[in-house]
Amino acid sequence: MEGTEKVEAEEEKEKKPEKVWDEIKDEIQYVKVLNRLLPDDIRIIAWCPSPPPDFSARFSCEERQYRYFFTQPAFTPTATTVDGTGKADGMKEGYLDIDAMNQAAQNFIGTHDFRNFCKVDGSKQITNFERRMFEAGVEEVKDVGTALPYLGASAVDGSQLPKVYSFNIRGTAFLWHQIRHMVTILFLIGQRLETPDLVTRLLDVENTPRKPNYDLAHETPLVLWNCVFPGDDESRTSNDAANALHWVYGDADVVENLWSHYREKKMDELLANRLLDLVSRQVQGTEAKAKGKRVFQGGHEGKLAGGYVPIAKKQLTPSPAEINDRWAQRKGFKNSDAMRESKNWRKVIKDAKQAAAAGDGDE
């Protein structure tokens, strides 16, 4: 009997189908696990269980979208600009001409050589500075502000201030610090220190082959907003099913965690807002001392600039070809062309460095 029962048990076990692996339900909960390890202001919201075999997070990306946020006014207005008086050209200190910025931003759209809107790194030996922009413009970010009543007198349309705006840019790829260079120029145009046609002049690399030496906009307000891959709603090749990515999103824990982080920061904003408004009411009658010319670069305050030097009169930086040649010469080559002719020039440099290190060791 015991032998029979044992055989029957084994047969029953054989009849029972093996559990089929579910690549989503049975997989590690990556969103939850990773979010436990990350800082509160960085959240994983989805993962892809089966990307294409040749997928590359960098090279499979069809489009990158960035946003650069700023306020209106851009920095603290003086008492004279708050009470309605301003500069001779009608632009109050601290405020930006959004229409002029938008007009200038439209010139970024299309395929252009952006060598005058980037920082050139000789170690990369880049020779092609053409990039394609699908969209560029300045938009108001709705329903995010905490009003400061003392600024109300300077609002043109009677709306509450400060407002929040963002420079939105979409393109296939970007050069090093390209967007921060773009924003610097837009801010100068917004302050009416430059005219909107400055963008066109800087994109004309035949007449402006070397970049004027102007400052970079602050890095903090710049956000990589989205990366578009095949299969995404905004994909320009949405019919490419073979390379489409299928995302698995996390649960409500992500929203709850972000709410906690948001509320903490919102309370900080609210308390700072109330303090600023209280103090501004008490000192409103006091004439602010002139601080000289201030230029906005995306930071918390305007930068004291003394007398403003127009972009067209600034010192020019070396051309990309000159930067590439200088870097190649420091590595022992005649110039960048000779270095590239060696084909795998990175390996040549690495081998030379190792040989030099070995020679030092022999001594």
- Per-residue pLDDT of 228-264, as tens digits, reads 988 887 777 656 677 788 888 888 888 888 889 989 9
Same domain, yes or no, for 179 and 311? Answer: yes
Q: Assess if residue 305 is contained within a domain.
A: yes
> In terms of pLDDT, which residue wins out, 162 or 168?
168
Q: What is the pLDDT of residue 85?
A: 47
CATH number, domain containing residue 115: 3.30.70.660
Same domain, yes or no, for 96 and 174? Answer: yes
pTM: 0.84
Q: What is the pLDDT of residue 100?
A: 98
Q: Could you read off the pLDDT of 266-316 as tens digits, one per residue?
A: 999 999 989 988 888 877 554 555 566 788 888 877 787 778 899 999 999
6: pLDDT strictly greater than 70 = no
Same domain, yes or no, for 300 and 342? Answer: no
Q: How many domains does the chain have?
A: 2
Q: Assess if residue 301 is contained within a domain.
A: yes
Q: Could you read off the pLDDT of 308-360 as tens digits, one per residue?
A: 899 999 999 999 999 999 999 998 899 999 898 888 888 888 888 888 877 66
Q: How far apart are CA 278 and CA 276, in angstroms?
A: 6
Q: What is the pLDDT of residue 279?
A: 86
Q: What is the pLDDT of residue 218?
A: 94
pLDDT band at 208 (very low <50, low <70, confident <90, very high): very high
Same domain, yes or no, for 57 and 168? Answer: yes
Same domain, yes or no, for 123 and 152? Answer: yes
Boundaries of domain holding 281? 46-317
Q: What is the pLDDT of residue 79?
A: 53
By the 8 A CB rule, do 112 and 131 touch? Answer: yes
- What the block records as the tokens of 347 is 């390996």
Q: Assess if residue 5 is contained within a domain.
A: no
pLDDT band at 110 (very low <50, low <70, confident <90, very high): very high
Provide the β-strand partners of residue 113. Answer: 130
Q: How far apart are CA 145 and CA 152, in angstroms?
A: 13
> In terms of pLDDT, which residue wins out, 28 or 236?
28
